[in-house]
Amino acid sequence: MANQVESSSEILSYVRDVSLREDDILRDLRELTGELPMGQAMQVMAEEGQFLAFLVGLIGARNVLEVGTFTGYSTLCMARAIPPDGRLVTCDITSKWPDIGAEYWAKAGVADRIDVRIGNAAETLSGLLAESGANSFDFAFIDADKASYRTYYEAALDLVRPGGLIAVDNTLFFGRVIDPAAQDPDTVAIRELNAFLRDDHRVELSLLPVADGVTLLHKKAR
């Protein structure tokens, strides 16, 4: 069995040369974010943002849910992939970081598609269920505090329609998931979620060893 090609800096540079279609607005936002404290670690890779947009467009999503906005790079990627009358609801605990992205969303002409919800994400998701009802979103992207991933996943599973997709970021968590010595709450939460998802027959799944690990979940029709 062939092993995966090692993702060296040279390979990543090649991938970007032959496939990345990042324009000036996205690039400026990514570079600005990279200068922030923990910006490099917290923002999605450019390739991942493009992949998320690809998935959103592929399934014809009109309603997208994002848990964890940060500076809104992935928000912008996905908002561009939905139709002008679509909506993207993105959740964050503070307005500090989404406020940075808002300028770039406006420059890209998609600010009117983006609905930022500030507050505890679990409470926001519960409110969305009451507000919009079950099965009201086509796609969900989870990239927030890791200890709450299981809570966010269950809420997203209620909110996403049968046949819709959920993408969960950081499911390899810097490789810490295979380190027995790593027993911090975030790593433990990711390990437990991965084991749970493997046996969750409400969905079909694939964990992709790209970026920091991205798990794709296809909600089955009941």
Specify the CATH number for the domain of residue 115: 3.40.50.150
Q: What is the pTM of this model?
A: 0.94
| Residue 50 domain-assigned (yes or no) | yes
Q: First and final CA of the chain: distance in angstroms?
A: 36
In a domain, 208, yes or no: yes
Mean per-residue pLDDT over the chain, rounded: 94
Please report, as a single letter, which amino acid is at residue 140. Answer: A
Residue 70 inside a domain? The answer is: yes
CA distance 28 to 105: 12
| Number of domains within the chain | 1
Tell me the C-alpha distance between 102 and 83, whole Å.
19
Q: For the chain, how are helix, strand and coil distributed in percent, rounded to 5?
A: 50, 20, 30
Residue 61 lies in a domain: yes
Residue 12: inside a domain = no
- Using a pLDDT cut of 70, give the percent of the chain over it: 97
Other C-beta atoms within 10 Å of 24: how many? 8
Residue type at position 159: L
Q: Is residue 10 part of a domain?
A: no
Give the mean model confidence (pLDDT) for residues 19-43.
Answer: 92
Flag whether 13 is in a domain.
no
Q: Is residue 2 part of a domain?
A: no
Q: Which of 84, 92, 31, 40 is nearest to 62 (CA)?
A: 84
Q: What's the pLDDT at 1?
A: 41
Structural domain boundaries, residue 117? 21-219
Return the pLDDT at 4. Answer: 59
What is the C-alpha to C-alpha distance for residues 40 and 31, in angstroms, rounded to an integer?
9
CA–CA separation, 214 and 97 (whole Å): 23
Q: Using DSSP, state whether 207 is helix, strand or coil.
A: strand
Query: SS3 for 218?
Result: strand
User: What confidence tens digit (pLDDT) does each residue in 135-164 have?
Assistant: 999 999 999 999 999 999 999 999 999 999
